[in-house]
Each structure stands twice: as structure tokens, then as C-alpha cells.
Amino acid sequence: MTVGIDKIGFFTSPYYIDMVDLATARNVDPNKYLIGIGQKLQAVIPETQDAVTLAANAADRILTSADKADIDMVIFGTETGVDNSKAAAIYVQDLLGISKRARAFEIKQACYGATAGIQMAYDHVLLHPESKVLVLASDIARYGLNTPGEVTQGGGAVAMLITANPRILALDGQSAFYSENIMDFWRPLYRKEAVVDGHYSTDVYIEFFKRTWKQYQDKTGRSLADFSALAFHLPFTKMGLKAIDAVVQGTASATKLLRQFDFSTQYNAVVGNLYTGSLYLSLLSLLSNSDSLKPGDRVGLFSYGSGAQGEFYSGTVAKNFDRQALKKPVDNLLDDRHKLSIPKYEKMYQAAMPITSGDITYDVTADQSRYVLRGRAADRLVYLDTGKSAENKAQ
Ligand code: HMG
């Protein structure tokens, strides 16, 4: 029996900005953003979406009624939680009508949360092969208008169903991890925007990648030659390029792995950072866009969460993997988005729900998503299922 990712769905906002427009507005050479950072477009999240609705909309794209009845664990990875106590997983479980005989909880460790969820789901399904676990990775990346981090914002959610005999990626249980108390990026309780030591964070990311990759090789005896592709947490695509360059340059695997890396960045380059979902959007990008990955090929995954935790693990492409079924719904979702001018983006950015108390009601008529945030009443978040069905659902 194998255990791994059986289904994977993605959702993001219907709005984006162009990095050339942002560069022009900020008086920066566009090539800094396009080449130096490696981002083309950036998702802008309206006030009617939050981590819960993004995740619910992502999960809605992959789950059947049978899945909803069979799921016995919902794990929600996020650092954009909607409550200091209650787990976002409980809201999604309710909105989607997932079985109440499920464990539902939230995991936080910056961009690493969903990876912890996947590892826990893997162990659970190994022990209980009939189980299905829903792992949600949902975040909104905010640094602030006119900051160096602004070009690395974004947002969205990836939903993954972890089962026995998966149809997308069979995990092989081989993993190496490392954690250390580091102040590279964090978000104090009173802030909506991250505090970041940007250049330091990129150095720590590379160091954690090199360290966990070495640990993985020592543990497994595998080398670059055993891999058909490597996928990375991509806060911005140049970050992953720096990491892969650090280990493949000058090796016989360089051409093959760098070519696959390109496929793994295509979706991230037009969405931006999803924090904990970024590695899994990159995996989705690789699997959907690579013209040569085939069943049995080994893929390495590097997960990094500031603070900091790194993990390198691996899996193989499943035997009945269907590339087109994965790709079409994502391409359609991204193609259907609307471009915002920079002033409109700034207005939308500032409209996000404040941390201070008080009732709020949003106009949800412009939001075509199935699940939306209506506002807040008596300190309760109000979510709506509009009943709109997601077109081009994943299979
Ligand atoms: P910056 O300081 O404005 O940028 O911010 P820079 O001056 O370092 O330039 C960036 C690159 O553009 C450089 O290339 C320049 O040479 C190049 P590099 O030396 O890096 O190869 N450049 C140009 N290229 C072409 N044409 C030009 C041009 N001009 C310059 N004309 C920084 C960059 C990433 C620091 C900033 O955006 C930031 O702070 N971002 C947020 C932090 C971040 O994403 N860190 C990543 C690692 S930590 C992580 O991944 C965890 C995270 O996801 C959070 C979590 O775990 O929850 C963030």
C-alpha cells in the first residue's frame, strides 16, 4: 500500500496586479521585480475572502459527497488564522458539510504548517488505510504598501486529500528536518502585516535547505541523480532558483533539474506568496506543466517556515497520474482573473478586516466565489455559502 496526495485543488482571488504596474508606481526598474525577484503578477485578496473562505473554495473544487462523508481528519495549516482560539478547520468542516466524526484543528509554524499536516496525515493513513485526511494550506501574505516585501505578497489556498493508493503523489516516508529559534520573519499579535528581516530570511532559507538536503542524503543514501524534479517553498520564484542553484550547479543533474524547476514556478510567478500553500502550489505547477514527468519519477520537496523550520522529503508520481485533469481547472481559474490598477489594489488592500472590534458588513455581490466572508456581527465571523458552483472543478 502507498500513501500520499490523491487529490489537490487550488483557489485564489479573482483579482491581481501586474508587477510592471507596481514597479512603475513605486519608481523601481520593472526588471528588478520581473527578473531580480522573479514575479510577474500578484493575487490581491478582497475583503470578502479570508483564510477560511480561500480554503473552503479550494476544497470545494476537489471533494465529492463520498469524500466528505469519509474524511476523518481536517488539518488546517495557516499563519493567517481568523481567531486566536478557534481553529479555521472547524469553519471549513461546517461550510463544506464534512463529516462531524472527524478531528478538525489548525497547525501554525509560518510557511511550514501544511507540511506538518501532511506528515501527520501520512502517519494516520498508514495506521488507518481506509481514512481520508483533508489538509488545507491557506494564507494571505501581507507586508504593507510601499515596503520591500510588497513585491512578494499574494494569497490563496491549496487543499489536498491524503489517502491510501493515491492518484497524484505517493510519499515515500523519507524525510529530514531541522528547526532553530531565528527572528527572520514573524507577525506580533497586534499586527496584520509581517515584520521581516528580508535579506537575513533569504540566507536562513538557503542554509536550512542545504542542511536538510544533506541530512536527507545521509539518511537515505540518495543523491541528485535519484530525482526527476525538486519543488520548493516559493515566497518568490528567485528564492527557489537560488536554493536549487546552490546544490545542482556543476553536477550532471543540473540541466534536467533546472528545466523541471521552471515548470514548478509557473503558477507561483503569477500568484505570489501563499505562505504555507506555496510549496504545494509549486508542486501543482510542476505536475501540471512539466511535459516529461511520468509515473514512478521521484520528486523532492523543500518546505521552509520562518522562525524557523525546514524539511526535505520526497515522493513518486503515482501510477495513474492524469496531468490534464490537474492542469485545466487551475489554468481556467487563473485566466478568469481581473487586473486591478495600483490605486484600486491599494484601496482593496486597506479594506481588509481590521484587528479592532466592531460589526462590519461587506457587499459580497461582486465576489463570484462559492464561499464568502459577509462580515462580523457580535464578535462572530459571518460566512456565506452562496451556492455558486465552482466551474472547472478538479477531479
Ligand atoms: P530588496 O532589498 O528590495 O531587493 O527586497 P534587493 O535589492 O535584494 O534586490 C532583489 C534582487 O533583484 C537582487 O538579486 C538584485 O540584484 C536584483 P539577487 O542579488 O537577490 O540575486 N535586481 C535586479 N535585477 C534585474 N534588473 C534590475 C535589478 N535591480 C535589482 N534592474 C527581499 C528583496 C526579498 C528582501 C524583500 O522583497 C523581502 O523582504 N521579502 C519578504 C521576505 C521573503 O520573502 N523572504 C524569503 C525567505 S523567508 C521565507 O521564505 C518565509 C516566508 O515565506 C514567510 C513564512 O515562512 O511564513 C517569507
Q: Among the atoms of ligand 1, which is closest to the Cα of residue 202? A: 47
Where does the pLDDT of residue 392 fall: very low under 50, low under 70, confident under 90, or very high at 90 and above?
A: very low
Nearest residue by C-alpha to atom 50 in ligand 1: 235
Residues 250 and 335 both lie in one domain: no
Average model confidence (pLDDT) across the chain: 97
pLDDT at res. 395:
44
Q: Which SS3 state, helix, strand or coil, does residue 368 take?
A: coil
Residues 116 and 163 both lie in one domain: yes
Range of the domain at 29: 3-169+324-385
In a domain, 203, yes or no: yes
What digits encode the pLDDT tens for the residues 265-319?
999 999 999 999 999 999 999 999 999 999 999 999 999 999 999 999 999 999 9
In a domain, 344, yes or no: yes
Ligand 1: centre distance to CA 42 (Å): 15
Ligand 1: centre distance to CA 295 (Å): 35
Query: Which of residues 291, 318, 345 is at a domain's end?
Result: 318
HSE-CB for 204 with a 13 A CA cutoff: 22
Query: Which of residues 266, 292, 318 is at a domain's end?
Result: 318
CA nearest to 268, candidates 316, 294, 231, 222: 231
128 is catalytic: no
199 is catalytic: no
Q: Which amino acid is at 392?
A: N
Residues 332 and 296 both lie in one domain: no
Residues 77 and 131 both lie in one domain: yes
In a domain, 392, yes or no: no
Q: Among the atoms of ligand 1, which is closest to the Cα of residue 197? A: 39
- CB 222 within 8 Å of CB 189: no
Q: Pairing between strand 103-107 and 71-77?
A: parallel
Residues 254 and 381 both lie in one domain: no
Q: Which of 79, 106, 124, 311 is catalytic?
A: 79
b/e map 228-259, b = 16+ CB within 10 Å: bbbbbbbbbbbbbbbbbeebbeeeebeebbee
Beta-bridged to residue 289, according to DSSP, are none
In a domain, 245, yes or no: yes
Residue range 102-121: average pLDDT? Answer: 98
Helical pair 51-60 and 88-96, crossing angle rounded to 10 deg: 40
275 lines ligand 1 (CB under 6 A): yes
pLDDT at res. 388:
85
What digits encode the pLDDT tens for the residues 32-71?
999 999 999 999 999 999 999 999 999 999 999 999 999 9
- Which helix H or strand E contains 25, and what residues bound it? helix 19-25
Residues 245 and 301 both lie in one domain: yes
What percentage of the chain exceeds 90 in pLDDT? 97
Cβ-proximal residues to 49 (8 Å cutoff; 6+ apart), any chain:
13, 57, 367, 369, 372, 373
Residues 100 and 239 both lie in one domain: no
Query: Which of residues 285, 302, 318 is at a domain's end?
Result: 318
111 is catalytic: yes
Spell out the alpha helix ranges (H) of the chain.
Answer: 19-25, 30-31, 51-60, 65-70, 88-96, 113-127, 198-220, 237-248, 254-265, 278-289, 323-335, 342-350
32 lines ligand 1 (CB under 6 A): yes
In a domain, 394, yes or no: no
Residue 293 CA to residue 304 CA, distance in Å, equals: 24
CA nearest to 81, candidates 384, 359, 267, 353: 353
What digits encode the pLDDT tens for the residues 316-350?
999 989 999 999 999 999 999 999 999 999 999 99
Beta-bridged to residue 42, according to DSSP, are 17
Residue range 151-164: average pLDDT? Answer: 98
In a domain, 192, yes or no: yes
143 is in an annotated binding site: yes
31 lines ligand 1 (CB under 6 A): yes
Q: Pairing between strand 3-11 and 41-44?
A: unpaired
In a domain, 266, yes or no: yes
120 lines ligand 1 (CB under 6 A): no
What digits encode the pLDDT tens for the residues 233-276?
999 999 999 999 999 999 999 999 999 999 999 999 999 999 99
pLDDT score of 394 more than 70: no
Residues 138 and 34 both lie in one domain: yes
Residues 86 and 103 both lie in one domain: yes
**CB atoms < 10 A from the CB of 181, how many?**
6
Residue 338 CA to residue 12 CA, distance in Å, equals: 12
CA nearest to 56, candidates 92, 105, 10, 83: 92
CA nearest to 37, candidates 187, 155, 198: 198
pLDDT at res. 241:
98
In a domain, 254, yes or no: yes
Residues 208 and 341 both lie in one domain: no
Q: Among the atoms of ligand 1, which is closest to the Cα of residue 36? A: 12
Residues 18 and 68 both lie in one domain: yes
Where does the pLDDT of residue 172 fall: very low under 50, low under 70, confident under 90, or very high at 90 and above?
A: very high
307: CATH: 3.40.47.10
| Count of domains for the chain | 2
Residues 144 and 20 both lie in one domain: yes
201 lines ligand 1 (CB under 6 A): yes
